[in-house]
Amino acid sequence: MSGSKTKIQLRVHPNAARSEVIFINEVLQVRVAAPPVKGKANKELITLLSQALGVSKGALAIIKGHTSRNKAITIDGLTQEEVMKRLFSSSSGVSSR
């Protein structure tokens, strides 16, 4: 992996029927089944993104919006192009079990 660090903006929807990464009007949105209580939704968000991007959970960090639906996340080791390519290719079928 390269030494790059990428920042993405996204909107989280807790208490969803299932966890998934989607794009609506070219805006990255992540639905998580966990409730927004005691960091459960944030934890599930990191787990889901790590699966979708093929990186470890440690490579992801929420840098803004810990208690908001709008969040800023950094991803270590991937370029912006790699992140978007992986999310676009996986958005049709990424869901947590």
In percent, how much of the chain has pLDDT > 90? 77
Report, as an integer, the average pLDDT of 25-30.
Answer: 88
Q: What is the full DSSP assignment across 46-64?
A: HHHHHHHHT--GGGEEEEE
pTM over 0.85: yes
* Nearest alpha carbon to residue 80 among 25, 20, 13, 2: 2
Domain 5-90, CATH number (from 3.40.50.720, 3.30.1200.10, 3.30.565.10, 3.90.850.10): 3.30.1200.10
The rounded mean pLDDT for the chain is 89
For residue range 46-97, what is the model confidence (pLDDT) as tens digits?
999 999 999 999 999 999 999 999 999 999 999 999 998 998 876 654 444 3
Q: How far is CA 67 from CA 11, 19, 88, in A?
A: 12, 18, 26
Report, as an integer, the average pLDDT of 16-27.
Answer: 90
Query: Residue 67 belongs to what H/E stretch?
Result: none
